[in-house]
Structure 1
Amino acid sequence: MGLPVHDRDYVVVGSTVEEMLSLGFTPVGKEFPVFLHPETKQEYALARTEKKVAPGYRGFVFHASPDVTLEEDLLRRDLTINAMAMSEEGEIIDPFGGRRDIENRVFRHVSEAFAEDPVRILRLARFAARFRDFSVAPETMELMKKMVTDGEVDALVPERVWKELSQGLMESMPSRMIQIMHDCGALERIFPEIEALWEVPQPEKYHPEIYAGKHTLLALDYSAKMNYPLTVRFSVLLHDLGKGTTPPNQWPHHRAHEERGASIVDNVCRRLHVSKMLRDIAVMTAREHGNIRRSSELRSKTAVMVLERCDAFRRPERFIDVINATECDLRGRKSDTVSFEDIDFPQRAYWMMVLNAARSIDAAAIIQSMDDASEEIPRALHNARADAAADAVNAWRFGHIKKASVAEASTSAQ
């Protein structure tokens, strides 16, 4: 495909474990014989076949021996584009049409053995997020749907789901991973909270794309376009989960969805065993993105309370992630007439101004002026921060009014 090569894997045909060890290779494979080259440290695996003996992606036994052919080894792989090899002489061995599928930009399973490993659904979806112009072969999509119906994806463990999801989120178009999981039915089994957004309407005035699920995918792709880190992309994926719990008789409005969503996000993160840092930022985004968007409507005390809830005074970098995720939420909308990706986002400047003003107070002096054990210290700090924020906001608003007045006077003079 003309892309850079990041790693090379070698398959060894006609050899044994004993021979590899005698040549100085170091064994590293736990389930099947994989070795590191004594000099290059690249991976060399004995040609092998596998047999499904139990549900899930771990339910396999492997057979490696000198009589296993290269074609038999390639047959066990997931997609035709991954079932090719190159000989030492540079000859391409392609028994299953991988090169043809690369030319036609198609993901196609090699054999019915694809259905034996549910991780392959996640891998294919992740590849789709990377290779944006590839489509899924109809017969492969049908096979994935059958895997879901047969309950294969129910055997996936959280650690493996998170590994594939986190990698897919960092690709150039992560929405395709979520879309393909939805199309084959896996999203409902693995992430029912995201699936619940799919047909949930929103006010067309603010969301011309209408559905909450579509909005989430648009916001997610904007986060990738901005090259934001995983903390932001994951938070964007989960930011509107509360809308999936809005009673249909309240549609298309979603009052208090932020607070409802925060607890749902927390549960999802714990189920996936994600790090505490990722969980904290995702929960803060779900809970506060509405407040951050409504910044100009908030009182200074409320704005400082948001900063305190986000631990912004100790960890400002996390709060910046929340701001970035909110930007994606604002710009992750679609209309035939308006490019929401280019609209202003003054909230960033507003919140950084409030944060800097609130941080400028002499917290040590306030604490020293009070009894160290006083329960009033948090309130005193909050009030001082709110006062400083109010001064900054008033100065900012006065500056805007003054600029507007000058512009109006200039227009009148003309």
Structure 2
Amino acid sequence: MHTYLVGGAVRDQLLGVPIGDRDWLVTGVTAEQLLARGYRKVGRDFPVFLHPKSAEEYALPRGGADDGSEQAQVCNDLIQRDLTINAIALAADGSYIDPLDGRRDLRERRLRHTPTFRNDPIRVLRLARFAARLGPLGFRVAQPTRQLVRQMVQAGELDNLVPERVWSEIVRALQGTDPVTFFETLRELGALRVILPELDRLFGVPQPERHHPEIDTGVHSLMVLRQACNLSREPEIRLAALLHDLGKGTTPRADWPSHHGHEQRSARLAERVCERLRAPNRYRELCRLVAEYHSHCHRAFELKPATLLRTLQQLDALRRATRLDQFLLACEADSRGRQGFERRPYPQAEFFRAARQAAAAVDTRRLAKGADDQKMIPDIIFQARSRAIAAVKKRWEEQEILTIT
């Protein structure tokens, strides 16, 4: 049995960056022998064996080789990987097996496809994710790889990707340090119109320049995502920020640059995207709420107390303060995701929190006990909470007047 360190661990070691998971390729042994040694088999399409102590992943060579030599088996496995920089093996004696010259691509900061890249179209998303992850180190997608991906898109090879695999790549990108580059790369390669057509069609759709100096809705959406990344590491918040304006892509051209009623359309489209991608409910719920109510948050100081309370109820904010915090961060990202507004304060968030705190502090049990008609209890509580929010609004208005004077 011979073991080779492969994949990302070799790549990162050569780049001099921290190594994450360590994956191994093993030769000279069968699956049955690995199981007999205590390894645990996982995966269906491509079996991987977990080490009984370290739990690191060990895999047998893919495909095999005509001559059966160990070198040929390793090379054959490496060639079937996604990118040349991930197709390098490190032997126990310190030597490298590098059939596709991946080390040269590492030196030249190039993301280049392997001969078998096209066998699995999900690799297009992996390519975009590596462009985002390694972009700060100067990596760029090689021109032949760009051409190949465009050919794959034109040929419809991305049309039937498994939703769960697409979602896995998207959420990993959202958890990364630069998801904006991930989506930009997909768009540059022509793949965004297949993966997220609702987002892709926002590019070229204008908005009123007075509120959006950047004008382009697609540009704005990526600016909002970047601000969300500055404000939070939570992928739910980042996705909700990215998808909040999808409805503007369905506004009739005759109505441009106005987008009246886009919030409801955005909410429906965001839900549809999350459903198509099989996203967990927590993503779907937050995306819908941010899309539907972000304008309410921006106009917080203009809302009547009753309207503000209804918004809090729709957000389920009285019971779930964390949900409100997520919503407000996405709304703040939307406000700052505009040219020239990047550092603009967003007091609406603190005002929303103050209103929520006042409404939640109302003694509902006391009100319920004192009600003559049980059917009137919900209305009595609603009116009491509205008055509490009105008092908060009055204090904020007085403080603003004092500040001005």
Task: Read off the aligned partner of 1:397 and give its amino acid letter.
Answer: E
- 1-side partners of 2:157 and 2:382: how far apart? 52
Q: Unaligned 5+ residue runs, structure 2?
A: 1-14
1:10-409 to structure 2, matched below 5 A, reads 10-49=24-63, 69-111=73-115, 113-132=116-135, 133-334=138-339, 338=340, 340-370=341-371, 374=375, 376-405=376-405
Change (3 A) 1:16 1:382: same
Change (3 A) 1:15 1:179: same
Q: Give yes or no for contact 1:358–1:388 (8 Å, CA) kept in 2.
A: yes
Q: Which residue of 2 aligns with 1:409?
A: none
Give the C-alpha shift of residue 317 in structure 1.
0.8
Question: Which stretch of structure 1 is more off in the superposition, 210-219 or 149-158?
Answer: 149-158
- 1-side partners of 2:403 and 2:190: how far apart? 55
Q: Give yes or no for contact 1:117–1:152 (8 Å, CA) kept in 2.
A: no
Q: Give yes or no for contact 2:149–2:189 (8 Å, CA) kept in 1.
A: yes
Task: Read off the aligned partner of 1:42 and give its amino acid letter.
Answer: E
Q: Give yes or no for contact 1:13–1:66 (8 Å, CA) kept in 2.
A: no
Deviation sequence 1:221-245 (CA, Å, 0-9, x none)? 1211223311210101110001111
Change (3 A) 1:45 1:206: same
Q: Give yes or no for contact 1:170–1:224 (8 Å, CA) kept in 2.
A: no
Q: Give yes or no for contact 2:206–2:256 (8 Å, CA) kept in 1.
A: yes
Deviation sequence 1:256-306 (CA, Å, 0-9, x none)? 111211111111111222122211111010011111011111111111111
Give the C-alpha shift of residue 22 in structure 1.
4.3
Deviation sequence 1:14-55 (CA, Å, 0-9, x none)? 3322443444433334233422223322211111128xxxxx
Give the C-alpha shift of residue 384 in structure 1.
1.1
Give the C-alpha shift of residue 155 in structure 1.
1.7
Give the C-alpha shift of residue 66 in structure 1.
6.8
Q: Give yes or no for contact 1:232–1:325 (8 Å, CA) kept in 2.
A: yes
- 1-side partners of 2:111 and 2:232: how far apart? 26
Change (3 A) 1:225 1:402: closer
Q: Give yes or no for contact 2:128–2:185 (8 Å, CA) kept in 1.
A: yes
- 2-side partners of 1:88 and 1:401: how far apart? 73
- 2-side partners of 1:403 and 1:332: how far apart? 27
Deviation sequence 1:51-95 (CA, Å, 0-9, x none)? xxxxxxxxxxx99x7765211111001101101111112223222
Q: Give yes or no for contact 1:84–1:93 (8 Å, CA) kept in 2.
A: yes
Q: Any idea what SS the aligned residue of 1:164 has?
A: helix
**Equivalent residue pairs, number:** 388
Deviation sequence 1:284-339 (CA, Å, 0-9, x none)? 100111110111111111111111111110112111111100111111122xxx3x
2:19 corresponds to 1:5:
yes
- 2-side partners of 1:302 and 1:33: how far apart? 56
Q: Any idea what SS the aligned residue of 2:233 has?
A: coil
- 1-side partners of 2:372 and 2:160: how far apart? 57
Deviation sequence 1:145-188 (CA, Å, 0-9, x none)? 11111111112121111111011011111111111211222211
Change (3 A) 1:372 1:108: farther
Quote the RMSD (CA, aligned, Å): 2.1
Task: Read off the aligned partner of 1:116 and give its amino acid letter.
Answer: N
Q: Any idea what SS the aligned residue of 1:305 has?
A: helix
Change (3 A) 1:352 1:46: same
Deviation sequence 1:87-136 (CA, Å, 0-9, x none)? 1122232221222222222211011x211211101111112222223211
What TM-score do the two structures reach when normalised by structure 1? 0.89
Give the C-alpha shift of residue 373 in structure 1.
5.5
- 2-side partners of 1:256 and 1:139: how far apart? 43
Question: Which stretch of structure 1 is more off in the superposition, 92-101 or 153-162?
Answer: 92-101
What TM-score do the two structures reach when normalised by structure 2? 0.91
